[in-house]
Amino acid sequence: MINSPLQKYQQNQVQTSPAQLLLMLYDGAIRFVKSGIAAIEESNFEKTNTNLCKGQAVIHELIAALNYDYPVAKTLYSVYEYMIHCLIQANLKKDVKPAKEALSYLTELREAWEVASKSVNGTAN
């Protein structure tokens, strides 16, 4: 029986697959970008900056996770760099349009990785 929070954390860490971790990164980036967009719309520029910077940080983690043994990594790197550029522009100009563009890419990529993960694990319909 697991009693302490540390033991629960350690068990979850062992049970989390690389695919699940990747999806969690996408979920975090999506959540931060959505919060950044909402903050722009509310004219809360401190919250805008905080959330869009957090979104950028998560995308940097996605870049760090790339495996360059596969040719698709170079393409993903370019897409991630472009999304970071969009978030910087959204933050500087306090404009939702580039943030929404980055959000659309994050959402599409997350869906693609989820489908790929399910097909690799044999759980696709």
Q: Give 42-79 pLDDT, tens digit per residue.
A: 999 999 999 999 999 999 999 999 999 999 999 999 99
Q: State residue 71's pLDDT score.
A: 94
Contacts of 91 (CB under 8 A, 6+ apart): 36, 48, 49, 52, 53
Q: CA-CA distance, 11 to 2, in Å (whole number)?
A: 9
Transcribe 38-71 into DSSP letters: HHHHTT-HHHHHHHHHHHHHHHHHHHHT--TTST
Which one-letter DSSP state was computed for residue 86? H
Token pair recorded at residue 103: 């959000």
Q: Which residue has the tokens 């520029």?
A: 45
Q: Are 110 and 20 in contact (CB under 8 A)?
A: no
N residues, the chain: 125
Q: What is the mean pLDDT of the chain?
A: 91
So what's the pLDDT on residue 125?
A: 47
**Residue 124: is its pLDDT beyond 50?**
no
